[in-house]
Structure 1
Amino acid sequence: MAVVTPRVFVSHLSGIAVFDPNGDQVGRLRDLVALLRVGARPPRLLGLVVEVISRRRIFLPMTRVTGVESGQVITTGVINMRRFEQRASETLVFGELLDRRVRLVDTGEEVTVLDIGITQLPARRDWEIDKVFVRRGKGGPLRRKGETLTVEWSAVTGFSREEHGQGAENLLATFEQLRPADLAGVLHHLSPKRRAEVAAALDDDRLADVLEELPEDDQIEIIGKLKDERAADVLEAMDPDDAADLLSELPEEEKERLLTLMRPEEAADVRRLMAYEERTAGGLMTTEPIVLRPDATVADALARVRDPDLSPALAAQVYVCRPPDETPTGKYLGLVHFQRLLRDPPFTLVSSIVDTDLPALPPDTPLPEVTSYLAAYNMVAAPVVDESGALLGAVTVDDVLDHLLPEDWREAELHRAPPPGLAGVRAHEEAGDGR
Structure 2
Amino acid sequence: MRIIAYSYTDPLLETAPDRRIWGWEVDRIYLDLGGRSELEKLLEDCRSTPAEYLLIRRYEELGESVREVGDRLDQFDRLKIQVIAIESDGKASETSRVELIRFLAEIQRGQHSRRIRKGHAKNRLKALPPPGKAPYGYRRGKERYAIDRAAAPIVKEFFERFLIYGSLRGAVRYLEQRYGKKISVTTGKRWLVNPVYRGDLEYKNGEVISNTHVPIISREEAAQVDRLLRRNRRLPPRTASAPRSLAGLLGCGECGSSMTVTRVTSYRKDREYLYLRPMNCPRNQKCKSLSYEQILEATIERICGDLPEAVSELELPDLERVKGGLTGAIASKREILAQLPELEATGIFDAETAQIRAYKLRNEIAELEGKLAQLPPVNLKATAQAVSIAQFWLDLSETERRFYFREFIRKIEIVRQGDDWDLKLMFIF
Task: Report TM bin, short chain.
Answer: under 0.3
TM-score, normalization: structure 2?
Answer: 0.23
Q: Which has the higher helix share?
A: 2
Question: Which fold has the larger relative contact order, with Cα–Cα distance below 8 Å and residues 6 or more apart in sequence?
Answer: 1
